[in-house]
Chains A and B, each alone.
Chain A
Amino acid sequence: MAHTNCEHLLADLSDYIDGEAADAVCAEIERHLADCADCRAVVDTLRKTIYLYRNLPQPALPEATRTRLLAAFTFDTAPDT
């Protein structure tokens, strides 16, 4: 983050990556990235971070928990375990 306007652009990076930034903002960021290796690294690794967590397997509801829930709320006998 060596350039003076790196911090200024930082606030718009998520919108830029999500494709939600205005055209003028995108153009400004891309001009800056062409000249700033540090910010290119931040953008690359931010994209990679997003990719990684979006592909992370999500925890499943344990079957025993689901069974206890259904038993409790349909007033059947809940298992003790």
Chain B
Amino acid sequence: MFTAARIAHYASLAAIIWRMTIELHAPDVALTAMSGDEGDLIQRLRAGDKSACAECIDRHSAGVYRLALRMVNDPHEAEDIVQETFLNAFKAIDSFEGRAGLGTWLYRIAYNTALMRLRKKQPLYVSIDATSTGNEEEGLTTPLQLFDWCCLPEEDFQTSEARTELERAIAELPETLRAVFVLRELEGLSTDETAQVLNVSVANVKVRLHRARLWLRERLAGYFTELASQATEQTAHT
């Protein structure tokens, strides 16, 4: 799956993605205190230490893979994005300034790589300026589903069907909301870190996260309201 030809292909993309990453890197973000452990790892990466590459992959590949998978919803493409991310990161490690943590920087490269692939697939539907900071308050999802489905038995929330419904809802989140949601809520990045990865303001991260939550609530309400309705009908018949 990962051949020399692919490596060459990734190398040609590396310069483009790295340039994009550098260009999008806000110059005034607060310097992140780098732990001695991470500083040591970066020094070893810069020295071309193969064991450092392996250590970096072991530390960060799972998170990078999850972000990639949530962005493109395809395991094979997610793997390609992970490969490209580490290839680009190792090539550009001398330019890494430590403004953000290494993990945050890798998320940023992975996000840009995923975004570039999404643009290629859907150029008409993915914003050219994915970091657009337009008025995110506009179009705030107004709740339409007002049934309180929290009364359902807990086991109804733990079925594989319910989990599938939730996974599907996350996959269908609009792309700009999904990136914030995944980084902030699933990967556990802080609001500041998420803003650095996506090159948007902290306020923008908060608004997008709020919109994502409301969007998911609305989307899940359809499923759980129907479930509650079925339960009520069954009770009435017994």
**Does B bind A?**
yes
Q: Can you list 26 pairs linking A and B with CB atoms under 8 Å apart?
A: A7-B142, A10-B142, A10-B214, A38-B143, A42-B217, A44-B150, A45-B145, A45-B148, A45-B217, A45-B221, A45-B224, A46-B217, A47-B150, A49-B217, A50-B185, A56-B166, A56-B167, A56-B186, A57-B163, A59-B65, A68-B2, A69-B83, A72-B83, A73-B50, A73-B53, A74-B51
Chain B CB within 8 A of A40 CB: yes
Q: Cβ of A70: which chain B residues have Cβ within 8 Å of it?
A: 54, 57-58
Give CA–CA (A41, B53) in the complex, Å: 50
Taking a contact as CB atoms under 8 Å apart, the answer to whether B143 and A10 are in contact is: yes
- On whether the beta carbons of A41 and B146 are closer than 8 Å, the reply is yes
B185 touches A60 (CB 8 A): no
CA distance A52 to B87 in the complex (A): 35
Is A61 an interface residue, CB under 8 A from the partner?
yes
In A34-81, the 8 Å CB interface with B consists of: 38, 40-42, 44-50, 52-54, 56-62, 65-66, 68-75, 78, 80-81
The complex places the Cα of A7 from the Cα of B58 at a distance, in Å, of 46
Within 8 A of A (CB), among B119-172: 137, 140, 142-143, 145-150, 157, 162-163, 166-167, 170
Chain A positions near chain B (C-beta within 8 angstroms): 1, 7, 10-11, 13-15, 38, 40-42, 44-50, 52-54, 56-62, 65-66, 68-75, 78, 80-81
Given A45-B217, A60-B62, A52-B90 contact (CB < 8 Å): no
In angstroms, Cα B90 to Cα A2, docked, is 56
B82 touches A (CB below 8 Å): yes
CB of B69 within 8 Å of the partner chain: yes
Q: Are B57 and A14 in contact (CB under 8 A)?
A: no
Is B147 within 8 A of A41, CB to CB? yes
Query: What is the size, in residues, of chain B's interface with A at 8 Å between Cβ atoms?
Result: 50
In the assembled complex, the Cα of A1 lies from the Cα of B162 at a distance in Å of 26
Of residues 180 through 208 on chain B, the ones whose CB sits less than 8 Å from some CB of chain A are 185-186, 206
Name the one of B3, B90, B150 contacting A48, with C-beta atoms under 8 angstroms: B150
A53 and B7 within 8 A (CB): no
Q: Are B213 and A46 in contact (CB under 8 A)?
A: yes
Q: Which B residue sits closest to A2, measured CB to CB?
A: B146
A residues in contact with B46, CB < 8 Å? none
Distance to closest chain A CB from B96 (angstroms): 16
- A53–B185 CB distance below 8 A: yes
Task: Report the minimal beta-carbon distance from A41 to chain B, rounded to whole angstroms.
Answer: 4
Residue of A nearest to B165 (CB): A52
B142-A40 in contact (CB<8A) = no
Given the complex of chains A and B, what is the CA–CA distance between A13 and B142 in angstroms? 12
Give, as a whole number of angstroms, the nearest-CB distance from B236 to chain A.
Answer: 22
The distance in angstroms between the C-alpha atoms of A46 and B61, with both chains bound, is 31
Q: B53–A74 contact, CB under 8 A? A: yes
Residues of B within 8 A of A14 (CB): 206, 209-210, 213
Assess whether B149 is in contact with A45, with CB atoms less than 8 Å apart: yes
Across-interface contacts of A45 in B (CB, < 8 A) = 145, 148-150, 217, 220-221, 224
